[in-house]
Amino acid sequence: MKTDVEGKLQKQTLTVVEMTKKIEQLAKQAEETASLKERVEELKSVSTKLDRAESAIEKYKQKLEEAGETRKQLKALQAEHDGVLVKMKDLEEIGTRNVGNKGQIQSLRDQIQTLEGKNNDFNIERTRWEYEVEKYKEEAESLRSEKENQSQQVDELQRRVRDLEASGGNL
């Protein structure tokens, strides 16, 4: 029985020694983490404005790419629409030849009117998209200019900091 107690005591002593080592390691890691956190905060404050500008530029780049894709789709739809108009004219000619089928002619005319309405809607939508694309281009250019100005300001501030550090921090 005494041997069991001594064995348990040795195991517990070993556990305490291992835990003490782990605590010391964790304390060192905590110190390193605190030091690294301070450095990260310093770096974050310098790059925050540039990150925002780059994010906005990426957003507008994506919108411009989407607008380009939309423009391609609009061109494909325009080509399809032109083909439909040709078919409609052909059908209208066939319909006028078949005077006996007045119901069919009226149906074709109704289809033509519907397609013409869709064509007008399509043209309005295309005009709106062209306006949006132009607006996004202007906004992207404005953001590029703003980013460039901010980059110059950061460079100037960094130069001043270096000059102050070189002069010993005296103003």
Alpha carbon 66 to chain centroid distance? 11
Alpha carbon 156 to chain centroid distance? 29
Helix extents (H) in the chain: 2-97, 102-166
Residue 64 and residue 137 share a domain: yes
In the prediction, which pLDDT does 99 show?
58
Rounded mean pLDDT, 32-40: 84
Of 27 and 46, the one with more pLDDT? 27
In the prediction, which pLDDT does 37 show?
87
Residue 110 and residue 67 share a domain: yes
Structure-derived torsion over alpha carbons of residues 138, 140, 142, 143, reported in degrees to the nearest 10: 170
Residue-number span of the structural domain to which 69 is assigned? 59-145
User: Does the pLDDT at position 12 exceed 60?
Assistant: yes
Residue 136 and residue 81 share a domain: yes
Of 58 and 15, the one with more pLDDT? 15
Residue 18 and residue 84 share a domain: no
Residue 71 and residue 118 share a domain: yes
Structure-derived torsion over alpha carbons of residues 74, 76, 77, 82, reported in degrees to the nearest 10: 120
**For residue 36, what pLDDT band results from cuts at 50, 70 and 90?**
confident
Closest among 57, 117, 128 to 84, alpha carbons compared: 117
User: Does the pLDDT at position 18 exceed 90?
Assistant: yes
Q: Is residue 162 part of a domain?
A: no
User: Does the pLDDT at position 83 exceed 60?
Assistant: yes
Rounded-to-integer distance, Cα 28 and Cα 19, Å? 14
In the prediction, which pLDDT does 49 show?
65
Q: Is residue 166 part of a domain?
A: no
Most confident of the ranges 15-24, 56-65, 107-116: 15-24
Residue 125 and residue 70 share a domain: yes
Measure the CA angle with vertex 158, ends 156 and 160; round to 5°: 70
- Token pair for 58: 């990426």
Rounded-to-integer distance, Cα 5 and Cα 1, Å? 6
Rounded mean pLDDT, 41-67: 78
> For the chain, what is the domain count?
2
Report the predicted TM-score, pTM, of the whole model to 2 decimal places: 0.35
